[in-house]
């Protein structure tokens, strides 16, 4: 487990992180979210000892030092491959920095290129690849040594849906193998689909921390998804409905000011008859992100 306690980082007069504490358990995926400048990359750089900080960070109960770097896979937000190297040379070089011998890594390269559907041969130079395929090569060098702690800074950035699925499957596979995984993303759909836990930072402060269900349940079941022949105007007149959003066709989402009003709304809509859809849920992560990042929460 990665344990972060009372993490604080100051850059001059700017407080980048202020008393941030959370855990990244082994065999689980933690999503780190927040607006630009919230402290996500500073958190990653602190974990990796790229900068000095106040507080404690421990991996498996021990400080993160060079002795455990071989157990870590890190994908930075800014990609940094060597353009004149071949794919094979690049993968072998970075794997050797993790104390993995070339004779162990070379036989795996074709498998990993196929796994990530890289459009290029292992003897092709990095500079000959598209940006998307370069990104996939960097993902390979992050994962090929089977790290126990995986840190991914905006890994889905720039990936189309097909390649995003390839990455998601690789992350889930690493989870099944017991890795502790933390990644940052601005795409809440990615976070909600793969993460077990969620941490949100806002201007250096920790504002959300828990399992996905725990975080969503904090906000109550304030939304009702309904498919009905009622008009938007009629739905707006229902008790405790403060907002009606038309999704498509006859499907709407109703925002409630009191989740306890759900049964009353259900009774009025159905009048004892069948209704195709009535689902009362907490806000989505995307909506929670907007609420917590908004000016009303500064």
List average pLDDT for each run of 10 residues in the chain, which is 298 residues long: 97 95 97 94 95 96 89 88 95 94 95 93 93 90 95 87 90 96 91 94 95 92 95 95 95 95 95 93 91 62
Ramachandran category for residue 109: left, alpha or beta (phi over 0 → left; psi -120 to 50 → alpha):
alpha
Which of these, 234, 192, 183, lies nearest to 216 by C-alpha position?
192
Which pLDDT value is given to residue 242? Answer: 96
221, 223, 228, 229: CA torsion to nearest 10: 140
Query: What totals of helices (H) and strands (E) does the chain contain, helices first?
Result: 10, 14
Entry pTM: 0.86
CATH architecture observed for domain 2-211:
3-Layer(aba) Sandwich (3.40)
Residue 293 near residue 202, CB atoms below 8 Å: yes
Which pLDDT value is given to residue 297? Answer: 40
Secondary element (H or E) of residue 151: strand 149-153
15 contact partners, CB below 8 Å, separation of at least 6: 8, 9, 203, 204
């Amino acid at each position: 487990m990665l344990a972060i306690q009372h993490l604080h980082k100051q850059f001059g007069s700017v407080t980048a992180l202020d008393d941030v504490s959370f855990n990244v358990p082994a065999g689980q995926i933690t999503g780190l979210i927040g607006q630009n400048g919230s402290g996500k990359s500073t958190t990653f750089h602190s974990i990796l000892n790229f900068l000095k900080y106040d507080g404690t960070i421990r991996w498996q109960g021990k400080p993160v030092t060079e002795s455990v770097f071989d157990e870590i896979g890190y994908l930075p937000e800014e990609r940094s491959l060597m353009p004149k190297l071949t794919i094979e040379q690049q993968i072998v070089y970075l794997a050797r920095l993790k104390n993995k011998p070339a004779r162990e890594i070379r036989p795996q390269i074709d498998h990993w290129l196929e796994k990530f559907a890289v459009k290029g041969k292992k003897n092709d130079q990095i500079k000959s690849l598209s940006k998307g395929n370069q990104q996939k090569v960097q993902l390979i060098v992050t994962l090929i040594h089977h790290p126990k702690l995986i840190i991914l800074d905006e890994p889905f950035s720039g990936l189309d849906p097909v390649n995003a699925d390839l990455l998601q499957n690789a992350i889930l596979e690493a989870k099944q193998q017991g890795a502790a995984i933390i990644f940052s993303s601005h795409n809440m759909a990615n976070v909600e689909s793969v993460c077990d836990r969620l941490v949100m930072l806002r201007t250096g402060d920790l504002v959300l921390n828990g399992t996905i269900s725990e975080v969503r349940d904090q906000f109550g079941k304030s939304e009702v998804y309904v498919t009905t022949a009622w008009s938007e105007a009629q739905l707006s007149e229902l008790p405790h409905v403060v907002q009606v959003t038309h999704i498509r066709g006859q499907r709407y989402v109703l925002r409630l000011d009191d989740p306890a009003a759900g049964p009353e709304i259900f009774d009025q809509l159905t009048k004892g008859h069948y209704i195709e859809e009535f689902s009362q849920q907490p806000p989505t992560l995307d909506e929670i992100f907007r609420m917590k990042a908004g000016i009303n929460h500064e």
